[in-house]
Amino acid sequence: MTDDLRAVRDAVAADGFSFVAAAAMQDLLDDAGLRDWEGFSASWNDLGLDTYMADGGRYRRRRHAAFALSGGEVRRKPHQPHYQSRDYNPLNGGLERWFEPITEAVGTHTALDAILKTCFALFDPLTPAETKPEVWHTEVHQFRIEARAGEAGRPTPEGMHRDGVDWVLVMLIRRENVSSGTTRIHDLAGRPLGSFTLRHPLESAVVDDARVFHGVTPVEPIDPAIPAFRDVLVVTMRRA
């Protein structure tokens, strides 16, 4: 596990981001105690509609939870709104957005516990000692973006952006009948640094939010007659 961890850390330190292959992420999460991926993944079938969409879209479902993360400890915080300033999210930011809470079963699931511990193991050592917090304010989002005929689903309707945190993990949970949904990474001057498409469960994008912008192209149904969606987990960590 340490080799996989070190490889991701080195890539993020060098480039400001990294694509993590499913096998590497699987090794990391297995070491951190992952069990019952199927049950965890199935919980994306039970998300609430995001009614704060300034573009009027009804294509995003989500749940949200906040945690305190420190060495070896994962503690859920009381349910709270998600806030981004308009500097970071000119489309949907500037107000407290209350989303449905992540269920108790998902909040205590071994998969989420393993993912949060892995995030800490990745990101805490990448943080300079002088800025490293005692406890990381950590937010977890379950997202489903639905694509319909004539209405592409936009994973990042705000476009290329930063989340306004220190570190970001975006993990693919499931893709069903969608094309595109390509993750793009730009430097702070807007120059493209890389792009990749999360296709297989566990494949992830890891981002140093201070150094790069990220965005995802819209998803479209391959067969418009049947449901089409892209499920991801997003974990952000910032100094409290």
Site for Fe ion, rule CB under 5 A:
163
Q: How far is the CB of 232 from Fe ion (least distance, A)?
A: 10
CB 161, min distance to Fe ion, A: 6
Distance CA(102)–CA(114), nearest Å, equals 16
As a whole number of angstroms, the distance between CA 124 and CA 58 comes to 36
Q: Is 40 helix (H, G, I), strand (E, B) or coil?
A: helix
Nearer to Fe ion, 163 or 231 (CB): 163
Residue nearest to Fe ion (CB): 163
- Write down the residue that tokens 């479209």 correspond to: 220
Nearer Cβ to Fe ion (85/108): 85
For the CA atoms of 163, 165, 167, 169, what is the dihedral angle to 10 degrees? -40
Q: How many residues does the chain have?
A: 240
Q: Which residues have a Cβ under 8 Å from the Cβ of 130 and sit 6 or more positions away?
A: none
Our CB check for Fe ion shows the closer of 139 and 163 to be 163
Query: 34 or 198, CB closer to Fe ion?
Result: 198
Shortest distance (Å) from residue 163 CB to Fe ion: 4
Supply the minimum distance, in Å, between the C-beta of residue 162 and Fe ion: 7
- Picking from 184, 170, 180, 175, the residue whose alpha carbon sits closest to that of residue 215 is 184
Closer residue to Fe ion, CB minimum distance, 50 or 163? 163
Are 56 and 151 spatial neighbours (Cβ–Cβ below 8 Å)? no
Residue 122 beta carbon to Fe ion: minimum distance, rounded to whole angstroms? 17
